[in-house]
Structure 1
Amino acid sequence: MSSTLVNQPLSRLLSSLRISTTSSATLTHHGLTTRRSHQTTARTKRALRIRPHASHLLRHSSPQQSSSPAALDEIIFNPPSSQPTVYHTPFKFLPKTDPRRSNNLQMLFHNSGANEAATTSSSSSSSSSAGYLPPSLRPVSEKKYHLTKDDVAEIRRLRWEDPENWSLRNLAKKFDCSIKFVQIATEVPETYKEKLADDTRRMKATWGPRKLKAREERKVRKQMLFNGEL
């Protein structure tokens, strides 16, 4: 074996060492040094370990005093950051004879320029604050009781004779009622139910193993949710 083949790996090793030494020296010269950070779960949890707030701890350190009813009979109220003021106490925690009930600070901070009189009870406060609720996400519709027996009979007849054209949505739109009411008041023939079942089976036959597994897991999660396990 020639000496040239032996010297080539050695020269590569020496050149790599020189490059690494030069790069580390350059980083140190510019003030950039490598430092090991929290890369593991245990170190991250240890760094985020925070002592609980003093209001959550009992004032008595001895076991005899901490187990007494006087030590445990207390209310801890930590207002959220969105509260108007930390000095405001909800009326639920105030006695009926407390003079702070006459000064509704929550309404005062909400309407600083209003000249309304302050409420004197929690019931009046809840009724007055109802006007400041945000608008509902869905439009509130009033219930209608305008359908007669003849209308219900006509709905049942149309749904039974032609369930394809007279669907739940079409009947609800025609008679100005809810889809739930049409679903409760009507029935469909058994042949139509079998047709829907066949369509569902053909659709499920095109599913792959991944979708079938996802559907089964969804059923398990739903059952666990009903059982209170989630």
Structure 2
Amino acid sequence: MSPRRPLPRLQGLAGLLMALCVSAHAASWEDGPLPPRTQAQWALVAAVVNGVPMQAQQLHSELPVQQLLSHYENQWKRLGSVKMGRQGPWQTLSLHTDQLHLVLQAQADGAGSRGLLSQAQWRDVRRDFMPVEMPAALRTQVNQVTETRDGPRRSRLVTAACPDGFEITRQRMVAHARSKGWTVVTDQVLRKDGARHWLAAYDAMGLSVDVVLTQADGASASHLTLNFTDSPT
């Protein structure tokens, strides 16, 4: 696999992405009322995950799972064919339209239920979602790129596996930062319970770069997380 080509499936928010197409017209989000006795918290707000605009809410409800599912089934059936399923301990409800993919994952939580309600505007995929600051010398298998915004601040979080191992990946990242003139803010290598961790942070001239590299043991693959955060102007 190419070092900068993402895996075809997301590792989090399972099952949200379908085949990717491009549309000249942005889709609007499905914005129906919450079920009674239910609270929602944003998990993703206007995010872009592997190029696909997404949003997600965590639900906490006094309703049992079946009533929570029925509420959204009644809301969504006007849009198309709603499918029910199961994914591990989660009961799922999904709907795929010509612009949106909606998924509700729900499970019992005490006398009530909890869930994750996600939407993906799959027709509005962006092809250029990989951060240009991603070091080309790193041989990585990118799992996910998540872009979020908080006012003028933009964050691009990249998670990847590194087949070349811990030390080679660390040295290549250090060499890349040096070649770009990034200022070192933090640089620590830690060992705990047989695992190695590299924690680094750089000031990259208007861009903050946070690095976490981990390896569970000497025989395990290394995993890299890079967070590129634009500083407000």
The two structures have a TM-score, normalised by structure 2, of 0.20
The two structures have a TM-score, normalised by structure 1, of 0.20
Give the structure with the larger strand fraction: 2
